[in-house]
Amino acid sequence: MAVYMTYSANTNKEDLTDVLTEIGQMDTPVFSGVKKVSAKNSYHEWSTYSHDAAATNAQGEGATFTYDALTAPSRVGNYTQIFSKTFQVSETQRSVDPAGMEDEYAFRVQAALKAIGRDIEKALIQGTANSGAATGTGRRLKGILAFITNNISTGSGQAASAASGRSLSETELNGLLQDVYSDGGNPDWLLGSFRQKRAVAELASSNRRYVDGQKTFTSAVDVYESPFGMLRVDGDSQMDSGTLCALQKDMWAVAQLRPVKKIDTALTADAKNGVVIGELTLEARADEFNGKITSLKTS
């Protein structure tokens, strides 16, 4: 007797769960976490002033005043970058019943908003400045990693075999924080890849504890208490995997020339068209108040 099995049947209904799982690390600690200010031009500028170093200041009685030349503040700037994500959904697709969503176009809007946020996050961290060109080359903003040029720990003072791919040490981290504080900074934020967030947690591995009543084994560090104050610890999927930054959060801002928004574009086919678009840049108010450790172990 021949058994009729599913392998031969071609009339069975599909079994598609009405759930749509979105995959990808979409958190944006920098774009979401730093303050927002307004930009007024495609090249956004701000001013910085460096105070004189401390000097031995002892004047004689009756001394005649003399007047030194005053140093003008410096102008620092960054280019605004245009970000966009387009989407087009046919009216037929909008009329059918897709799994996991009520409206395909609305879903594509939300997906574009998340995607453009991640693109912005990558630029705010890894961006390299470019003025763009009328021929179609887009302007590019300068990101956090490129702005930090003063306080950098590369491991050059360690053994040559450990200079690349070395483990994070509390000594090196606190040394970087000391350098930043010596320059007048007050860092309150450690931002690195998720590998480096784990490395910070591993600094406290000897203090891990098991909470018997809750059946919880604690091995997490969200705040690092250093000799120079408390610093929040965040991982960022767009950070270079071997880098950990010590940042003073109020020294950074996102300057928006055109805040990100959704626009329904003109009808060009039997479909609904749209774009999510915005233009912004990164404002870095004081390089010296921040630092970074590079060439750390990534595995």
Strand ranges across the sheet with 81-90: 35-38, 252-264, 271-284, 81-90
- Per-residue pLDDT of 256-278, as tens digits, reads 999 999 999 999 999 999 999 99
pLDDT at 299: 84
Q: pLDDT per residue over 220-242, tens digit each?
A: 678 999 999 999 999 999 999 99
Radius of gyration of the chain (CA): 26
Higher pLDDT, 169 or 2: 169
Taking only the tens place, the pLDDT of each residue in 57-92 is 999 999 999 999 999 999 999 999 999 999 999 999
pLDDT digits over 126-161, tens only?
999 999 998 889 999 999 999 999 999 997 655 434
Are residues 32 and 120 in contact, defined by beta-carbon separation less than 8 angstroms?
A: no
Are 260 and 251 spatial neighbours (Cβ–Cβ below 8 Å)? no
Separation of alpha carbons 238 and 40, rounded Å: 27
Task: Kindly list the structural domains of the chain, giving each domain's residue range(s) and its CATH number in brackets, ordered by start.
Answer: 29-46+75-293 (3.90.1690)
Contacts of 283 (CB under 8 A, 6+ apart): 37, 44, 46, 78, 252, 253, 254, 255
- Say whether pLDDT at 110 is over 60: yes
For residue 144, the SS3 value is helix
Q: What pTM was computed for the model?
A: 0.86
pLDDT at 135 (0 to 100): 85
pLDDT tens, residue by residue, 7-64:
777 877 777 666 666 666 678 999 999 999 999 999 999 999 888 888 899 999 999 9
> Are 289 and 184 in contact, with CB atoms under 8 Å apart?
yes
Q: Is the pLDDT of residue 211 over 90?
A: no
